[in-house]
Structure 1
Amino acid sequence: MRNVLAAGLACAGLLGVAACSSPPKPSGGATALVIGNRQNMPAPALTQAARAALDAAIERGDQLVIVSVTGDPKVVAKSDLACPWKSTEGCKKFLRDNLAKLPAIVTKYPADAKETSLFAAIKLARDNISSVPGPKQIITIDSGLDTTGPLAMNDLSVLDADAADLGKELKTERYSPDLTGISVLMTGLGQTVAPQVRLTSPDSARLAALWTAVLQQAGAKPIRIEPDSLPPGQRAAVLPVVSVTKRPELPSPKNLCRQFRFNEAQLGFQPNKSAFADRNRARTALRDLAAALQRTGFNVVLTGTTAYKESRPGNPLSNARATAAKGILVELGVPAGHILTQGVGINWSGYHPPDGPVEAMKMRLVLMDPTCPR
């Protein structure tokens, strides 16, 4: 049935073919093809899984929407996936003439704005297909490493956060679109090219878990994340700039005379608690700093912060988190008498009201200030 896709796209001008007679209104549903064609990820391509999903759309005669993933996503094309001819032979001829051009669709619309937000692109896709009756699906070809918007991952420690809790927060705070009745297929997730760093296997798994949780909370069903690889290779330098996402560097014992910041995900705190979900994560994050404090004998001030004003006086949560971090340093050999703790809530110089749960995570910190001799 791929002849139907070729015919519909050709009539819409997407394949560079002359316009046909007006096709009948689609009898099926709607498909949104959400494509990242930008720096820091491989060139987009229709993987086997994406082709299969499009086959289902073709058979139904869906309406098609194509969304370009950038920091400012936009709809770049629309079409009907319905054959304009009344005869099977006519559709077969269209297939022979145009099927070879089909893969070019996914590379036809390079990014025209800097940065990237798959989250915003999915929301835009939803807005353009939600009113169409019948089955609806979103197919993404993107690495999923947002650099702007509510799910920005410039700091990859967001992948250490509780995925289910983050998905719930995005929904509760009304950042997530309502994807009820929409299936989502993700391809290319976590796939990168230089200058973006290659994700480790654990981080790739965490990225998949994060997107699954976010989409589940938004109501999407079913959700499929396919491992099909996109073609490797560098991207054109003329494509707009996209920030490199990376994990924060661990403290260097060579330079103790500065402030170190650890967010709640790096330290493995349970959401809105001072208890650790993963104590070993905190030990790993603080090991080098603890060794340097032991060697130099410096004192250190630990300051707990929060993303929002604490409801109880005395900033109990931020105080408790600073105390919990002290416990880890003591376990790692730093004398307890060399560590001072305090909780300040939102009253610290780097605070700004967060826009969404990811930014909120970056405001929930334990600041560590060694007292270096002058």
Structure 2
Amino acid sequence: MSGRLLAATASLGLVVGLAGCGGEDPAADPTGAAAFVVGARGNMPAPRPAGLAVEVLDRAVENQSLAAIVVADGEPSVLGTRPLLVQGATSQAREATKNDNRQAVLDGIAGARADDEEADLLGGLDLAARTIRSVETLPHEIAVIDSGLSTVAPLDFTQPGLLEADPEELAGSLARVGELPDLEGMEVVFQGLGDTAPPQEALSIAQRANLVAIWRAVVEAAGGVMALEERPLAEDTAVDLPEVSIVPVPNGPACAGPTIELAGADVAFQPDSAEFVDPAAARAVLQPIAEQLVQAGATATLTGTTARVRELGGQRALSEQRARAVLSELVDLGVPASALRAVGLGSEFPGYVPDHDAAGNLLPGPAAQNRKVIITLENGDTWVLCE
């Protein structure tokens, strides 16, 4: 018997039996199932349920549901299951059983530990859904207590551009290759999305927001309904856990010499739009750029680029609109409009990354890499920000 299974047996205390008979206030019939998907691995804080995740547990206890714990490491597995049956001839005895059931699940989550390298949350969701779907009665609920930073294909955030990918495009690409779990009719609560622990770098506000949007798009494309618990994970993770690859986190705009490249992690736009996802965040990124332009009296060209989606004329129009949106924000920050000009090249630009596979399907990661606004100083000037 593996260490993981031994831990499951001890912490969940697998129960077989029926609710007690007789006495006042008899317990209702058991109904539904709930699964708790936990990271319990390196690069993220320890999984400790709170808020909406605890509410999933409380409902499961009241419903006498089947409870399951799934560890979402590189090879997800069911840590253990427990029917949360209420036993006892009196209301006090039944209430004590409920408390015991609740604590057993909490202890099981606290004792969970990754066995395998890497992180496969998509696979963990699939395993959780299949486990609770074996119970015919409703409700079916899943609580995911995880950073969301999967490192296993087909959802591998170590791949360039994937953390900035368009959520709908990414969910659509998973659906196209049949990699979405079946979450039809299920409610899925996420806690801890974007919460990291060393050596994994922290995500920016914009990066975390896009990660949340990606998982929401995945859940909805899979037929489920997602809720987000904002309370962060904060407890130290266990030591000596299997290795998990670090997800690259861009730290500000890429710049070299006279050019600065603003990607989705810097100034994210709404899909097929020149509207900023977070105008305040975009302004914060553009503020130091505007300051140098003003102080140096410099002139610059803003070049918009995009993925190879729709015909070239549409690409160029959208990329120019995005360049003009950045230009407008710089003007609002004090840069003379006469010092700036905007152009749009669409997908025809130096450095274009092929963003379709051999079958012609869009690749969300490379597509995200191609969506940017490049600010180039003229007259041989260079960016102080790059020094």
**TM-score after normalising by structure 2:** 0.67
Which of residues 246, 251, 255 in structure 2 aligns to 1:248? 251
| Residue in 2 that maps onto 1:44 | 47
8 A Cα contact 1:268 1:278, kept in partner: yes
| Residue in 1 that maps onto 2:185 | 181
Q: CA deviation at 1:36?
A: 1.0
**1:325 aligned partner, one-letter code:** V
What is the CA deviation profile of residues 265-296 of structure 1, one whole-angstrom value per residue up to 9, with x for unaligned ones? 63353321335566555443233234334555
Which of residues 110, 113, 124 in structure 1 aligns to 2:113? 110
Query: What is the rounded CA distance, in whole Å, between the counterparts of 1:327 and 1:95 in structure 2?
Result: 60
1:139 and 2:132 are equivalent in the alignment: no
Task: Tell me: CA distance 1:225–1:67, structure 2 relative to 1, closer, same or farther (3 Å).
Answer: same
Query: What is the rounded CA distance, in whole Å, between the counterparts of 2:273 and 2:101 in structure 1?
Result: 58
Query: What is the rounded CA distance, in whole Å, between the counterparts of 1:176 and 1:169 in structure 2?
Result: 11
User: What are structure 1's unaligned runs of at least 5 residues?
Assistant: 1-10
User: What are structure 2's unaligned runs of at least 5 residues?
Assistant: 19-28, 357-361, 383-387
Q: CA deviation at 1:130?
A: 3.5
Residues 76-95 of structure 1 mapped to structure 2, 5 A cutoff: 76-81=78-83
Q: CA deviation at 1:111?
A: 2.6
What is the CA deviation profile of residues 157-179 of structure 1, one whole-angstrom value per residue up to 9, with x for unaligned ones? 968x9xxx835862586265442
1:352 and 2:345 are equivalent in the alignment: no
1:272 and 2:279 are equivalent in the alignment: no
Q: CA deviation at 1:151?
A: 8.2
**1:36 aligned partner, one-letter code:** G
8 A Cα contact 2:141 2:187, kept in partner: yes
Query: What is the rounded CA distance, in whole Å, between the counterparts of 2:125 and 2:14 in structure 1?
Result: 30
Q: CA deviation at 1:68?
A: 1.7
Which of residues 9, 14, 26 in structure 1 aligns to 2:8? 14
| Residue in 2 that maps onto 1:288 | 288
Query: What is the rounded CA distance, in whole Å, between the counterparts of 2:53 and 2:368 in structure 1?
Result: 34
8 A Cα contact 2:315 2:347, kept in partner: yes
Query: What is the rounded CA distance, in whole Å, between the counterparts of 2:77 and 2:108 in structure 1?
Result: 14
8 A Cα contact 2:353 2:366, kept in partner: no
Residues 189-268 of structure 1 mapped to structure 2, 5 A cutoff: 189-196=193-200, 211=215, 215-216=219-220, 218-221=222-225, 223-226=226-229, 230=233, 232-233=235-236, 235-243=238-246, 246=249, 248-250=251-253, 257=257, 259-264=259-264, 266-268=266-268
Q: CA deviation at 1:181?
A: 1.5
| Residue in 1 that maps onto 2:319 | 318
Q: CA deviation at 1:186?
A: 2.9
Residues 63-78 of structure 1 mapped to structure 2, 5 A cutoff: 63-70=66-73, 72-78=74-80
- Aligned-residue CA RMSD (Å): 4.9
8 A Cα contact 1:299 1:338, kept in partner: yes
| Residue in 1 that maps onto 2:25 | none
8 A Cα contact 2:76 2:127, kept in partner: yes
What is the CA deviation profile of residues 133-186 of structure 1, one whole-angstrom value per residue up to 9, with x for unaligned ones? 122111122233456654849999968x9xxx8358625862654423112233
Q: How many corresponding residue pairs?
A: 353
Local SS of the residue matching 2:129: helix
| Residue in 1 that maps onto 2:171 | 170
What is the CA deviation profile of residues 69-117 of structure 1, one whole-angstrom value per residue up to 9, with x for unaligned ones? 23x351233435166x997699999999998765442244423444435
Query: What is the rounded CA distance, in whole Å, between the counterparts of 1:95 and 1:187 in structure 2?
Result: 24
Q: CA deviation at 1:48?
A: 6.8
| Seq. identity, % | 26
Task: Tell me: CA distance 1:235–1:244, structure 2 relative to 1, closer, same or farther (3 Å).
Answer: farther
Query: What is the rounded CA distance, in whole Å, between the counterparts of 1:185 and 1:170 in structure 2?
Result: 18
| Residue in 1 that maps onto 2:32 | 29
Query: What is the rounded CA distance, in whole Å, between the counterparts of 1:125 and 1:98 in structure 2?
Result: 19
Q: CA deviation at 1:37?
A: 0.7
